Structure 1
């Protein structure tokens, strides 16, 4: 049986008296793809920011592999293997795909700010960078400037730069946002592939994506957990349908 790799206990966040996250309890099981979904104002992004230490909680506790990380900083938990994609996904348009992945690999080495070293000093990272590009289906884009890449391929590049930090738990924020159907299908298959041997927690608005990918789903409404379970379980929950699933027929809902 899987064990919880990430756990939130009674997680609460208040902003000037407004409760954005209200006593949320969450367990992400190791090896699962777990989704946070909910309507506008549900608190999904705030929960995500709390879990990844971009916001401090008002109350509550966060544990990673059973150890408290509530007081740690985002860069500290990243070193533990808990990596949020946008932490390193601001790809550089003036660099090639290969160069972007090399930057991420350099971060892992702790030499990110050695600006005085020649570019050739990073050549030893090329083989691993090419492997990561191939893993996300971007081998043919290795020498292409990022600014010239299609949007969906840029998002795949962001996944490659995340993988460069060797995460055990990947946190993906709206990975298919703004994509056409073809790119969505490509990213779904990419997430399924890179999730092998890893755990994924994702905020996602596209219910078709959630139904195809996720082992478990947590539904938030008004900052609290409304329901949790597999897709069929939450999709048929009357409270969930009332709060969130009004656009179920199209497979999408507002983020």
Structure 2
């Protein structure tokens, strides 16, 4: 390949009892880009995302990351390779403080889990880095609060901080602005743009304003197949994309 592709799929297919949810999807995600996966309800976006993050195994097809076949690996294995999913259920510990949440992620990255017996110097290093990460997502002043005390948008920012603490090479974001008001959407979109500076991002996202603002490349799915791909102008002017979104008020 002439282009620098970090994540690729070939003929990715998933069948459930005869129903084909994802049908022969070929995807190429360029290193350093923000790539969005969109489509109307029932298009197969979530199933495709679950295949990429190994929460489901494909019926057939191949997934490669950095040129390595990861089709048969478990979610924990791909996380170790630097491919990390964020914004999933139970992404943070609700009754730990924000600083403690980020520190747990930093300890996981180091290879420990809850290594409270480590020296004060080592834990201090975790604390300093945790505070730096919280500052990066605008949460430093709330570091003493427990996660359960945060409003929804700021909880998403905390999830982003804990994900970045794992130092991923590629972020997979599962509907990062779902259920948010305009202010939170703008804040989280700006954070995604900021953290993508040295990383690749693949996201499933319903908010097409966010997609238009952030994405370098957009893949549109419908009925489990790739309908169109390109930048926002290209896909939004595609006649079949317009038809697929008819009645949604976008594209």
Q: Pick the TM interval, shorter chain.
A: over 0.9
**Which residue number corresponds to residue 100 of structure 1?**
101
2:224 is aligned with 1:223: yes
* Offset, 1:122: 3.2
Deviations 1:185-221 (A, max 9, x none): 0011100000001000000000000000000000000
Asked if the contact 1:170–1:198 (Cα under 8 Å) also holds between the matched residues in 2, the reply is yes
The alpha carbon displacement at 1:114 in A equals 4.6
Alpha-carbon separation, structure 1, partners of 2:149 and 2:234: 42
CA distance in 1, matches of 2:63, 2:133: 31
Give the secondary-structure state (helix, strand or coil) at the position aligned to 2:203.
strand
Shift of 1:248: 3.2
- Offset, 1:227: 0.5
Aligned to 2:142: 141
Q: 2:110 aligns to what?
A: 109
TM-score of the aligned structures, taking structure 1 as reference length: 0.93
Per-residue deviation at 1:145? 1.4
How many residues are matched? Answer: 249
Give the equivalent residue in structure 1 for 2:195: 194
What are the Cα deviations for residues 88-123 of structure 1, in whole angstroms up to 9, with x where unaligned?
A: 9621121111010011111112211557x3796733
Unaligned runs of 5+ in 2: none
Alignment partner, residue 164 of structure 1 = 165
Q: Conserved in 2, the CA contact under 8 Å of 1:23 and 1:60?
A: yes
3-state SS, counterpart of residue 247 of structure 1: coil
Structure 1's unaligned 5+ residue stretches are none
Bigger Cα displacement from structure 2, 144-153 vs 192-201: 144-153
Which position in structure 2 is the counterpart of 1:17?
18
Q: Counterpart of 1:151?
A: 152
Partner residue in 2 for 1:38: 39
Q: In structure 1, what is the equivalent of residue 133 of structure 2?
A: 132
SS in 1 for 2:184: helix
SS of the residue aligned with 2:235?
A: helix
Q: Which residue of 2 aligns with 1:85?
A: 86
Q: How does 1:71-82 map to 2 (within 5 A)?
A: 71-82=72-83
Distance in 1, matches of 2:246 and 2:212, equals 13
Q: 1:73 Cα deviation (Å)?
A: 1.1
Tell me how far apart the structure 2 counterparts of residues 248 and 233 of structure 1 sit (CA, whole Å). Answer: 17
Q: Residue 87 of structure 2 contacts residue 176 of structure 2 at CA under 8 Å; is this kept in 1?
A: no
Q: Distance in 1 between matches of 2:171 and 2:101?
A: 19
Give me the CA root mean square deviation. Answer: 1.8
Preserved CA contact (<8 Å) 1:81 1:168? yes
> For the structure 1 residues 222 and 88, does the alpha-carbon distance in structure 2 shift closer, same or farther, using more than 3 Å as the test?
closer
Query: Does structure 1 conserve the Cα–Cα contact (< 8 Å) formed by 2:227 and 2:241?
Result: yes
Question: Is the 1:35–1:204 contact (alpha carbons within 8 Å) kept by the matching residues of 2?
Answer: yes
